[in-house]
Structure 1
Amino acid sequence: AADRFDSGEDAGAHANMAKLLASRAAVAAVEAALQTHGGYGFDRDYDIVTLWPMIRLLEIAPINNEMLLNYVGEHVLGLPKSY
């Protein structure tokens, strides 16, 4: 997405897909860490649980994942506008 943008090309689809993938990967990583550590994930010494709200926010801000999917559906897949 950055390379397309730097080249003056339309980077909208690539940027939206990158944000979608990154937010889902980050949430999966934090949830896996919490699951692996069990109750210790909530311990101050490990401090994993404090990452969860910040990472979860990536799925809803600045644009929520559903709107990213709407963009990809409309502009990449050629589907009709769904909202």
Structure 2
Amino acid sequence: MSLRFSAVLVCLLIAGCSKINQENYAKIGPGMSKAEVEALLGEPTECSGAMGVSSCTWGDQKTFISVQYAAGKVLMFSGQGLK
């Protein structure tokens, strides 16, 4: 087994590797750009929107962070199941 594969496997086994956590949630703030949030959390699981307003979610149904944007800036955000 290669060292790189081992490192990825260990990371997957340790819950602390997820970017969807309370520490990163606390760093999100109103007015942040979509690019800043994606730099913090990675690519969103899903996004939708229309007419200058969008919503993106990271995570799954149990553990997630959801961010609503207006004109590409954070308007509101919420999270569930964060550790």
**TM exceeding 0.5:** no
Between Structure 1 and Structure 2, the one with more helix by share is 1
Q: If you compute each CA radius of gyration, which structure gives the higher value, 1 or 2?
A: 1
Between Structure 1 and Structure 2, the one with more strand by share is 2
